Structure 1
Amino acid sequence: MPRQPPESHPDMTSTPGHDPIRPPFDIVALASSAGGITALGQVLGGLTDSLPVPVVVVQHLDRRHQTIIAEVLARRAKLPVQLARDGDEAEPGMVYIAPPDKHLLVEPGGRLTLSNSELVHFLRPSADLLFESVAGTYGPRAIACVLTGTGSDGTMGVSAVKSRGGTVIAQDPETAEFRGMPEAAVEVGAVDFVLQLDEIAPVLRGLVEARKS
């Protein structure tokens, strides 16, 4: 498994019938749990304000309390950051965060849906559900990234993304503040890139800002 990104990516080749200036990906989905606020801040802070795709985020939050996660991450990010709202259309260059106690899904056309459906592995929001929704909606044009966290949320979701031809990134478990989530993703065999935290944003930029020739 590569520790550094290769010079090119399979989805960066030209495809008949595709717009030659369209980026090869349509969405980035990030997931984290324990230690995630710091990790998300670093990743989002490394993305440019001209990012041509939306970013959707699941961070496990205490559902008993309101959150200021959007305000906290907005201080680090160059992109606008907001809590996702049911029915929003995901726009390029925006960051949408699942609110506490709501599953976040992305439907065809980039429509965001919030759900009160049952907890998944005792969690709501669930990284698995977010990743599975972007896999179903975007197929090979989706990127899923698992950051620091305890437990194994995201493992089924990255398998879904990979099975649909998408690209999966995991923070290096050896350097993650909490290794459970990224390690579980790596062990399932669906990860394309295992990267240290400071490598993730440059790789994401390289993938989504590439142009087909």
Structure 2
Amino acid sequence: MSTIDAIVIGASAGGVEALNLLLPALPREFALPVLIVVHVRQGQPSLLPGLFAERCSIPVQEPFDKDVIAPGVIYFAPPGYHMMVEAEDGAPPAIALSVDPPVRFSRPSVDVLFESAAHAYGERLLGIVLSGANDDGGRGARAIRDAGGACWAQDPDTASAPSMPQAAIAQGAANEVLTLDDMAARLAMHTRTRRMQR
């Protein structure tokens, strides 16, 4: 089984509630970076980093361009910017922010994050598609699966807006379809002393 070095998560409508079950369950010793795109209103600061910083045991931040990706940190894409993973030969993976045009009507786009992370991490990546009202994330989830990584989709029956996880499932990208409780329990087991496997 392959070791997982990073997790990427995509969410839209209903996704904040889903994240509120997943992220506070991560223990202080959690070993992996978590990069998250949530579709938020552009033109105003996101409240998500502050909201989750108060609820989580590991650091939560909104990254700057070229920040090196650190283990055990949650990164939320800033409003109005695509967030990507940049991996140059010999350099540790870093975050790249872009104001390129919206993808699937969204900036940040889940597909953009997932596709860049799949290129950077290959089989060492886990993607998670949560509640959302469009199909952003389906193509990116397929890219992760094609690169040898693993994808989880939230059980659409448990999602406030099932379109995003349904899109990932329709793409044949979901290794597993899970409830949020199952996801939280499985993520919480993986600490700095026990690298995550899929």
Q: Name the TM-score, length of structure 2 as normaliser.
A: 0.92
* CA displacement, residues 137-180 of structure 1 (integer Å, 9 cap, x when unaligned): 00000000000111000011001000010010010001111101
Q: 1:195 to 1:211 in 2, by over 3 A?
A: closer
Equivalent positions of 1:1-213 (< 5 A) are 10-11=1-2, 24-108=3-87, 109-206=92-189, 209-210=194-195
* CA displacement, residues 44-91 of structure 1 (integer Å, 9 cap, x when unaligned): 111111111111000000002222110111222111101121111110
* Aligned structure 1 segments of 4 or more residues deviating by more than 3 angstroms: 205-212
Q: Residue 211 of structure 1: CA displacement?
A: 6.8
Distance 2:77 2:98 in 1: 10
Q: Residue 205 of structure 1: CA displacement?
A: 3.8
Q: How many residues align?
A: 191
Q: 1:43 to 1:211 in 2, by over 3 A?
A: closer
Q: Residue 210 of structure 1: CA displacement?
A: 4.1
Work out whether residues 176 and 197 of structure 1, in 8 Å CA contact, stay in contact via their aligned partners in 2.
no
Q: 1:188 to 1:82 in 2, by over 3 A?
A: same
The farther-off stretch of 130-139 and 77-86 is 77-86
Distance 2:135 2:16 in 1: 18
Q: Residue 204 of structure 1: CA displacement?
A: 2.6
Q: Name the TM-score, length of structure 1 as normaliser.
A: 0.86
What is the root-mean-square deviation of aligned Cα atoms in Å?
A: 1.5
Structure 2 counterpart of 1:20: none
User: Percent of pairs identical after alignment?
Assistant: 38
Name stretches of at least 5 consecutive residues in structure 2 with no aligned partner: none
Distance 1:211 1:31 in 2: 20
